[in-house]
Chains A and B, each alone.
Chain A
Amino acid sequence: MLMKEKSRIMDKDGLVRTLTRMAHEILEKNKGTEGLVIVGVRTRGAVLAERLAVLMEEIDQYKPPVGVLDITLYRDDLSSIAQQPVVHKTEIDFDIQDKKVILVDDVLYTGRTIRAALDEIVDFGRPLFIQLAVLLDRGHRELPIRADYVGKNIPTSLKETVEVRLKETDGVDEVVVMENME
């Protein structure tokens, strides 16, 4: 697949501002960090979850616990995928029973990842509620799922892909839209 960079949505500063706003929104809606836990979807959702927790600590002097979810075992497309995903570990070292869970992912697209993540979270206990925070919502949902906190809405075509690059995983903080040239 030949991909060309079409546009740059966010740079480093933009990302910091967006995440800071989202951290404020989450704290505003939940009236602080009490009972709050953050769970990120591997790989970039986990990085964003950690960053949001750090930002919340700056605002509220308390860092909510952060967990990592690997949804491979909950996917609905085991047979139809061409390249096998490698199963990684889910790491939720705290009790989620009656907690306010903020589920974090980088891009909200079909909604299938979130469906799998929700199934997995409830296997760990019964949270008080789950809210969804995504850095980008690019539309094209295939399931009735919406985010409670959105960093940025970006209308995309199916020919385009959205790439979130983060310092921890990619060495740089940026969000770009790529276009398939074929």
Chain B
Amino acid sequence: MSLLKEELERNLNKPEVDKASLRKVAWVRKDLLGLQELSREELELILSTAESFKEVISREIKKVPTLRGKTVVNLFYEPSTRTRTSFEVAAKRLSADVINISTDSSSVRKGETLIDTGKNIEALKVDIIVVRHNYSGAAAMLARNVHASVINAGDGWHEHPTQALLDIFTLKEKLGRIEGLNVSIVGDIAHSRVARSNIWGLTKLGAHVTVCAPPLLIPVSIEEMGVKVTSDVEAALKEADAVNVLRMQFERDTENAFPRQLEYFKNFGITVDRLKHAKKNILVMHPGPINRGIEISSEVADGPNSVILEQVTNGIAVRMAVLFLVAQAHDQLRSKARTRGAKKI
């Protein structure tokens, strides 16, 4: 008899306390492509799972055997240090093997398509592909074409779910809740997948989100996502429990929509002076890499309100949770398929 049966036996006829440990919400997704399609319960499951992994990474031996024998490929079509390293560390903490493929040094240079690359990676018996791509929807397209689990590590301007999850995890850890919080996102909203994923996640969990940017960097009809919109940074900070400062992605400015760097700092930069008008304990977050003196001053980035480096630590816990959940769901889907196949015979 399996451990499951032992566990189920223990969980028969139990009152409330233990029903919580076998909640109805199970993770059934092979992939994590974005926060838009997730339910509130699924978001909460990821966050609570990440809490357990936070405990694991604070141990002396920061490693558990959970994904032993699994292989994770980091497939990055855009430069990334933080996210790729974070996924690599997360996978290694779960005892998975990790392969990094960056497109500078791969056959992509020779013209191979994303799907072909994905299928070739899968032919190497890889279990999970973590993909970053400059086209919105690239991760979803890959997920439709491979059996391996796909985790979106940022696709174009669309979503960057694990970044938003780690932002939300940090908020919850610091403030004890998400429901009812006022969260302002300041920066280049138009080009930001981080902003979009944060908006989906935060609003589903009951936070009030305000986005703040120069008018040209606010996408049309963003209000429909359930957020308040302003171009007055002091107004955005006034009631905020937390401010998520986004990097100005000057490399994406193809339409000359961006203000000059100094001009941006003057009008939107998060400085000690501006924070004087905000709540005393406002949390200052930033997905990194930070541009000091452009969207945030050094005093704030290194100051007492900043949780920027804690976000990096939490990123590992959150990514471990996501890797664990998709791997578990993937194995279960496969074993169900196997059982069905066996019955036919």
Binding site for B on A (CB under 8 A): 3, 42-44, 70, 72-91, 106-107, 109-110, 112-113, 116, 119-120, 123-125, 140, 158, 161-164, 168-171, 178
Contact = CB atoms under 8 A, between A and B. Distances in A.
A75 B331 contact: no
Contacts of A124: 59-61
Nearest to A109: B6
Contacts of A82: 4, 332
Contacts of A119: 65
Interface stretch (B15-23, B140-148, B170-178): B15-23
Interface stretch (B45-53, B117-125, B263-271): B45-53
B4 A74 contact: no
Given A140-B1, A178-B12, A89 B6 contact: no
Interface in B258-293: none
Interface residues of B, number: 45
Contacts of B22: 83, 85-86
Contacts of A120: 64
Contacts of B66: 73-74, 78
B251 interface: no
B207 interface: no
26 contacts: A43-B18, A44-B10, A73-B52, A73-B64, A73-B66, A73-B324, A74-B64, A77-B2, A77-B4, A79-B331, A81-B3, A81-B4, A85-B21, A86-B45, A87-B52, A87-B53, A87-B321, A109-B1, A110-B6, A112-B2, A112-B3, A123-B59, A125-B60, A158-B1, A170-B18, A178-B12
A80 B4 contact: yes
Contacts of A178: 12
Interface string B19-60: 011110011000000000000000001001101110110011
B328 interface: yes
B13 interface: yes
Contacts of A83: 4, 8, 22, 26
A80 B60 contact: no
B15 A43 contact: no
Among the interface residues A86, A116, A119, which one has the most CB atoms of the partner chain B within 10 A? A86
A22 to B, nearest CB: 19
A170 B15 contact: yes
B94 to A, nearest CB: 8
A77 B18 contact: no
B6 A79 contact: no
B63 interface: yes
Contacts of A75: 3
B224 interface: no
A102 B51 CA distance: 26
Contacts of A158: 1
A81 B2 contact: yes
Nearest to A90: B55
B253 to A, nearest CB: 43
A153 B63 CA distance: 36
B14 A170 contact: yes
B255 interface: no
Contacts of A91: 55
Give the one of B3, B52, B55, B60 with max A CB within 10 A: B3
A26 B9 CA distance: 28
